[in-house]
Structure formats: C-alpha cells, structure tokens
Structure 1
Amino acid sequence: MEIVMLVLYSLFVTYDDNANAKMQNNETNPMDNSMYRDYPYFADVQVMIFVGFSCLLGFGRFYGFSGMVFTFLTAAFSIQWAILIQGFFQFYYDGKIHMSVLGLLYAEFACAVVLISYGAVLGKTSPVQLVVMALLEIPIFSVVEWAVLKYICITDSGGTILIHLFACYFGLGATFVLYRPSLNSGHPKETTSYNSDILSLLGTLFLWVFWPSFNSSLTVKGDDQHRAILHTFIGLSSSTMTAFALSAMFNKRGKLTMADIQNVTLAGGVTVGASVDMMISPAAAYALGVMGCTACFFGYKYLTPFMARQLRIQDQCGIHNLHGLTGIISSTAGICGIMLATEETYGPSLYQIFSHRAPVEGDPKLLELQQLIPGLKPGLGRTAREQALFQVAAIFATIAASAVGGVLTGFVMNLKFLASPSDEDCFDDAVFFDVPSDFDTTFLLQIDQNSEEKGQTIPMKVAKDQ
C-alpha cells in the first residue's frame, strides 16, 4: 500500500501556493503566509491525535502496547491516505492536489474519525484489520462529508455531525458485524492496572487541554473563533465537575471511578460542538456540558451493557456514550441556536456564521450586506426554519450512511486472512508484540484471582518473589 501511495503522491500531489517557491517574490511578505494562521491549530490537533488518543486507549493492563502502538499505526496511515482522498474533494485543481497545512488539518480530522471508530473494536482486532478499516472508512467519510456539505448545506463548525456522529455509528456498525458472544460477560484480560489507568488519564488531560483548538480551528476567524474557544472551555469545565459528582454519588462506597474521569469528563467538548461559534451565551455552554456529561455517564453505566446483551453491539470504549449521545444533544442544541438566530443578536455577521441564510445572487439586500461585510458570498436565502430542517436531514443521512458503511467495512474486516485474534487472544499484547520478560499474562491473572479469592491484594514485588 505504501508503494501505491508513493505512486499516487508522485502523480497527483504538489505544493499549495503558500508553500511553492515559484509563487514568492520580493513583494511577498513571509508573515502573510497561511502557515502562521493554520499551523498552531494543526499542532494542537496533532497532539490530540498522537498523544491524547494514544494514551487514552492505552488503558488495558495487558493491552497497553497494542492500544497505543495500533493508534500510532492507524493514525499515520489515515493521515497520508486522507491527504489524497480529501484532496480530491477540497484541494484538487489544475490536475493536482495542492497540499498545505490546512489540508493536513482536514486530514487529521478524518484521522480523528477513524480513531473514534477504532474505540468500538479495541482489543479484538489485528493491526491489519485496523489499517483496512482506515482504508475503507476515509473514502466513505469523505464522500458523505462532501455530499452533506454540498447538497444538504449545513452548519457544523465543531464537527458534531460529520465527525462525532459519523465516527460513532460507523464504529458501531463495524463492531456489530465483529460481534463475539464470549465477550459479553467480559474477558479475563480486559482489565486495567494502576499504571495503565494513569497513562489513560494523561491522554484525557491532553485531549481536555487541546479540545478548544479542535472545536475552533475551522470557525470564521475573529469573534466567532473567540466564542468557540470560550464555549468549549466552559463546556469541558462543567462536564468535568459533573463527572466527579456523579462518579462519587453512584459508587456504593462514595469513591471515584477512574473510567468516569477518563471518559465522561470530555463529554462537554462534544456537546457544545454544533453551537460552538453561535451566540448561545456562556450559561448555555455550561448547561450543555452538564447535560452531555450526565447522558454520557448513564450511557456507560446502563446503555453499553444493554447494547452488548440485547443488540449484539459490543462497544469496547463506549464511543456511543461519548460521541453518539452527546453528538445528538449537541446537534439538537445547534438546531435551537439556528432557530433563535436573528439580526438583532448577531448584526450583519449573521450571514457569515449561517452562510446559507445569506441572500441569493442578485438580491438587493446582498449588495447592502457586502458593503458592511466585504467578501460576503451569496447564500441560498434560507429561513431559520428551513436551515433547521436541513440540519435534521443531515443528522439522519449521516447516521444512516455511516452505519451502513460500518457494517460493510465490518464484513471486510471479518475476512479470515486479515488475522483476527481468537477469543482467547483478545486484549493480549503478546499476540502481536515481542513483550518484555516481566510480561506474563497467565501468571498475573493467577495472582489476581488468588488474591481476590482471599479478599486481599498482593503487592507486585511480593508476587514476583513468590
């Protein structure tokens, strides 16, 4: 595949004008280069992809190597593949894909889609299956994204519909096909440890810190982007505090559960996504964080086990809670924000944020607005109600297309020659890695079982001596 990729890059990929030496001269100001505008956001999303996701998925006691390294592998392949596929839809002209930092940023969003979906099949797939998943998911995602933005024409600044909802239901479709009955009651190796939980929490912290960049990177520069950063931080803060409260309240001993802190605290970042650049008020962002966190928490507690038992959907990392339920809440809030948006609240900038509500070409009002907002492009002349209905259509279309794409991809991933691990070998690094000498799954599991039966914990040093 890398040889094929090299050929495709040789034939189709060239530099964007901002990266092409031929386009520079003595009158060109280097500081006007788009790299200075886009690179800070690219760098932040890069940290989320390669550090945040990798550490977050390294929570398995016997699956830490796989959780992190397979994320690294899948991300590296997904980005280089997305540069090609998305380039044909967004940066293709003059017979070439014109590569820029902005193109890399779009590719990383496509990569995030793959890594979210990966969470649903974590522990029961081989690295070959994951690369195949990325190979198929990115073209499907790119086609759906192009169709929704071009023909349904929606507002989705934080990627709630086209990133979180798509990735969630694609992953659920794939894991539906990869269903393993023996995993419904858990797996003996599907455990965490003190160190693996700390590593996973580190991933959560990286995602938490850089999520404002993720939500704001593609918003309109200026006050829109400023609001996006503020709303994301407020939503994350409120969801974090709510997660701590719920975790303690619903624990029989009143203690905190690490899985809640690692996942539920991030719910606010998703929930504010669809309305992140709107004038919804800080209080609304706070409320969305609380609602998203609450839905996510109870989803992990009740919905995930129900889906595994009754619907044959084994969502290993609970992506339906963190990205699906919160994505639906976020999309609903975005529709409400569109319905309530008026010129009285936004002024002329209403037609920048909601570009499809701008007057059509030839409308006298468009000329008036262009005098106030230079560069304003003609829109579709939609009313708030019409735009809200198109948002609803996009939600259902995206969920349906992603679920079908996930099911079809699951059938391909289930082919025998793609080296799927057996039920006994799931959640085990030793299947795919040369593990260190202190890695002994059978021995550690036996220690855990013996200590649990005696109602005590054996320190690891004592256990090794024994």
Structure 2
Amino acid sequence: MGDSASRSRVSYPVFQDVNHMVIFGFGFFLTFLKRYGFSSTGFNLLIIVLGVQCSVLIEDLLIFLLQREDENSLKRITNAVVSMTAVVISTGALLGKTNPVQLILMTVVEIIVFHMSRWINETFLQVPDNLSMTHVHLFGAYFGLAVSSRFSEPLPRSEKNASTPKSDLLSMLGTLFLWVFWPSFNSVLAVDKSKAIYNTYFALAVSAVTAFLLSVLTTKDGKFRMTHIQSAVLAGGVTVGYAGHGIKYPWIAMILGLLASVISILGSYCLQRCLNPALKIHDSSGVHFTFGLPGVLGALAQVVLTVINNWTNSARQGHLVTVHIGAFCLTVSVALITGFITGLILNLKLFKTIPVSKYFEDQLYWEFPHLAVGF
C-alpha cells in the first residue's frame, strides 16, 4: 500500500503537466479566431472532461472483457488525458464549424474508435501499450481532416475567419504552455523517461529556432509571421515523440526537430495552395501541418532508427519494421475511414448543422451582456 501511494505521489506532477498541457495549452492555442474565443476555450474544457470519463469507462470495460491486469488509477486517468489529445487535435480542424452537440458526439465516437485502433495494434501487431499511444497525433489529425471534408468550406475572405493581435497573443500563450509541457507529455508513458525528456527538449528547441528563421525567409517583408511560430515550434515535439525514448544522441533529436519545422512551414504553403483546394478540405487551425505531417515524419524516423539499431539482427529488424509500418498504416486508415463516416453522421439534419454564414461565431452559444439592449 505504501509503495503504491509513493508511486502515485511521484507520478502526480507528471499527470499535472499533461493535464495543464491539454486544458490550458490547447484551450488557448485554439483562440486565434477573433470571434470564437469563448467557444475555443469553453468547448475545449467540455470535451476533455467528457472524453476523459468515456476513456476511463472504456478502459474498465476492456479490463473486464479481456481479463487484463488492473492498472494504477493515476496511470489510467493519465492515459485518458493523453488519449483526449487526439480529440482536441481533431477539433482544431473543425474549429468554428460545429455546434456543441456535434462536438460531444464526435468526442464520444472518436475516443471509442481510438481505443479500438490501439487495441488492434496491441493485439494483432503486438505493439507495446506505450508505443501505441504515440500515434495519438496522427490519429487526431487525420480523423479531424476526414470529418472536416464533409463540412462546407467557409465563405472566401470571411471577415470572421481571421485573427486580431489580441487573439494571436492568447494563441501564442497556448503555444508556450504546450512547448513547456511537451517533454512531460512525451515521457509520461515512456520506459526511459529521462532520455525521452532530454531528446524532446532538444527537438523542440531546434524546431523553435528553425521556425523563426524560416518565418523571416519566407515572408516578403522579412518579418516574423505569428502563424508560423505557433505551428512550427511544436513540430519537433510531435516528431520525436515516436522514438524519443530510443534516441541515443541529442544531435539526432536536433535533426528531427529541424526537419519537422521545415516540413511544417513549407508544408503549409503547399497544402493551402495545392492539396486543400483540390480536396475541398478546410483545415481551420492547420492541424495537418502542425500535427499530421510531423507525425508522419516521426513514424518514418521510428522505422529508420529501428533499422539502424538492429542492423546486426536481420530477423528482429524485419519484424520490428513490419510492426511499425503496419501500426502506422492501420492508424491512419482507421482514422480516415471512421472520420469520414463520422462527418457524414454529423451532417444529418438531426444535428442542425450550422449554416456557412454563421461559422466562427461565439454569439450563437454564449451570452454577451455588453451587447444587450439598454446596457
């Protein structure tokens, strides 16, 4: 009993870090729209607390049905909070286009499907529990993009689909929360926690420096662009999350952070000008090049590092590479297929889809006393 309590006391600060990151970090990260700040932070809290409860109930059901060993309660709720990252990322792709009922339904469906995807990876591909959780960014990004493909695009040059200096500042505050707590997020389920923290910090540091450099080089007037900084400084943390616990030298993490930041910024140009218009997908907060593409790079880096680390053992090397590639393909496929189906369901008349003219508007859901007559 004493040992269990001791472990809980040691683990609680890490749980707090992850909780702060998901609630404060993502809550403020999504406040860049000038008329959607109340909804960004408020709905973020709603879906997180709802999703954590659903996730814990699903874990209890799996323990009962599969006769699994019951885990420490603090670890279970930490797993639930980490799992909710997928839903919050997906919400970013749909920001301003869904009503609360649609968000709640999407949260419940996505958390169930994410657990199903993890169960398949762990059961049939023998992926360890801590590694199956690293696909949370990939799953969230591509599930959200698939759902978003079923929603109408906003009106071109919509006045509400824009930011202000104040909303950008709040969003940057969220970015800073995410940046500071990301090492805890990547290490919370890792076997070698110190190595995961070490490598994550260096990847984040290099991606931040690269983001500032590329922002200056890619703007016409040579000034920093806030959208570049908000997205690219986190890319290194997403990428190194896949293999951070197994990287032996910090320079490898630095290279991954550099590549992640480059892919994030240059990918945003390519996707916004070429891919998104062709596929008719509107990605409200750019989750594809903030989490999706860096996640793909991280999965690829995991395969390359596995080949290098097992160079002398070809049988083990082939098995591990097959497992990693299979887990990546399965995760993305499940996310895209179920996301597309979820998008179709959310657009049923039953759920009263918001008209395009009412996108990105807080006043549909929140009271604004200063706008009342006679105030």
Answer whether TM exceeds 0.5 for this pair.
yes
- The question of whether the paired residues in 2 share the 8 Å contact of 1:157 and 1:274 is answered with no
Q: Is 1:164 matched with 2:137?
A: yes
Letter in 1 for 2:238: V
Partner residue of 1:219?
190
Work out which of the residue numbers 323, 348, 368 in structure 2 matches 1:435.
Answer: 368
Q: 1:280 to 1:94 in 2, by over 3 A?
A: closer
Partner residue of 1:321?
289
Partner residue of 1:107?
80
Work out which of the residue numbers 125, 133, 137 in structure 1 matches 2:98.
Answer: 125
1:332-390 Cα distance to aligned partner (Å, 9 max, x none):
1111111122599xxxxxxxxxxxx9xxxxxxxxxxxxxxxxxxxxxxx9611221112
After superposition, where does 1:66-465 map in structure 2 within 5 Å? 66-90=39-63, 100-154=73-127, 157=130, 162-178=135-151, 180-183=152-155, 185-220=156-191, 224-342=192-310, 383-437=316-370
User: Cα offset for 1:187?
Assistant: 2.0
Structure 1: state its 5+ residue gaps: 1-27, 345-356, 358-380, 441-466
1:53-101 Cα distance to aligned partner (Å, 9 max, x none):
0000111111111111111111111111111113323577879977711
In the superposition, the TM-score normalised over structure 1's length comes to: 0.75
User: Cα offset for 1:413?
Assistant: 1.0
Q: Distance between the aligned counterparts of 2:171 and 2:64, measured in 1? A: 36
Runs of 4+ in 1 over 6 A off after TM superposition: 91-99
1:167-198 Cα distance to aligned partner (Å, 9 max, x none):
111111111112x1444x34220111111111
Q: 1:388 to 1:95 in 2, by over 3 A?
A: closer
Letter in 2 for 1:283: W
User: Cα offset for 1:285?
Assistant: 0.3
User: Cα offset for 1:155?
Assistant: 5.5
- The question of whether the paired residues in 1 share the 8 Å contact of 2:311 and 2:317 is answered with no
Q: Distance between the aligned counterparts of 1:113 and 1:438, measured in 2? A: 36
Letter in 2 for 1:242: T
Partner residue of 1:61?
34
Work out which of the residue numbers 29, 46, 60 in structure 1 matches 2:2.
Answer: 29
Q: Distance between the aligned counterparts of 2:64 and 2:300, measured in 1? A: 31
Q: 1:319 to 1:182 in 2, by over 3 A?
A: closer
Q: Distance between the aligned counterparts of 1:118 and 1:314, measured in 2? A: 12
In the superposition, the TM-score normalised over structure 2's length comes to: 0.93
1:314-343 Cα distance to aligned partner (Å, 9 max, x none):
111111111111111111111111112259
Higher alpha-carbon Rg: 1
Letter in 1 for 2:182: W
Q: Distance between the aligned counterparts of 2:132 and 2:234, measured in 1? A: 15
What is the DSSP-based 3-state SS (H/G/I as helix, E as strand, rest coil) of the residue aligned with 1:383?
Answer: helix
- The question of whether the paired residues in 2 share the 8 Å contact of 1:87 and 1:98 is answered with no
- The question of whether the paired residues in 1 share the 8 Å contact of 2:93 and 2:145 is answered with yes
- The question of whether the paired residues in 1 share the 8 Å contact of 2:83 and 2:133 is answered with no
Q: Distance between the aligned counterparts of 1:187 and 1:382, measured in 2? A: 56
Larger RCO (alpha carbons 8 Å, 6+ apart): 2
Letter in 2 for 1:210: F
Structure 2: state its 5+ residue gaps: none
User: Cα offset for 1:393?
Assistant: 1.2
CA RMSD of aligned residues (A): 2.4
- The question of whether the paired residues in 1 share the 8 Å contact of 2:147 and 2:342 is answered with yes
1:145-185 Cα distance to aligned partner (Å, 9 max, x none):
0110221123685667520111111111111112x1444x3
Q: Distance between the aligned counterparts of 2:220 and 2:352, measured in 1? A: 42
Q: 1:65 to 1:418 in 2, by over 3 A?
A: same
What is the DSSP-based 3-state SS (H/G/I as helix, E as strand, rest coil) of the residue aligned with 1:277?
Answer: helix
Partner residue of 1:458?
none
1:100-123 Cα distance to aligned partner (Å, 9 max, x none):
111101111121110011111111
Q: 1:181 to 1:120 in 2, by over 3 A?
A: closer
1:26-52 Cα distance to aligned partner (Å, 9 max, x none):
xx4367543123212211110011100
Q: Distance between the aligned counterparts of 1:60 and 1:204, measured in 2? A: 15
Letter in 2 for 1:311: L
Partner residue of 1:5?
none
User: Cα offset for 1:438?
Assistant: 5.9
Instruction: Report the number of matched residues.
Output: 373
